[in-house]
Amino acid sequence: MQRDGAQAILRLRRTDDGGLEAPVTSPTRGLLLDFVDPNGPSGHSLVGVVIDVGDGQSLEPGREEIHATITPIFPENARFLTVGARFDLWMLRILGDGVIVAS
């Protein structure tokens, strides 16, 4: 993975569908990425990342096609950020989803 992180497209649930209750400023470390991981003990791996929205806008409930840079907090987790990898955005519940489109 490059030093600047991987590129992803995110989609956030609306508030009334269980999404965020308010916008989150960018960049943020407040959300985790939940990847399916058949090698993990639970079948999933939660990865702490910095999410930086390229246009400087907030992560708003219901917003789709959010282009963002995803940088793992711990470099060893870069192995999850491969092109085509799908994940859920998680913070005590699923808030949306995304896919890695470039690394």
- The residue ranges of every structural domain in the chain are 6-102
pLDDT of 30 > 90? The answer is no
Nearest CA-CA partner of 32 in 76, 77, 62, 82 = 77
5 φ/ψ sector (left φ>0, alpha ψ -120 to 50, else beta):
left
Tens digits of residue pLDDT in 32-53:
999 988 887 888 899 999 999 9
pLDDT of 2 > 70? The answer is no
Tens digits of residue pLDDT in 74-103:
999 999 999 999 999 999 999 999 999 998
pTM: 0.90
Give the CATH superfamily of 6-102. Translation factors (2.40.30.10)
Question: What's the pLDDT at 55?
Answer: 73
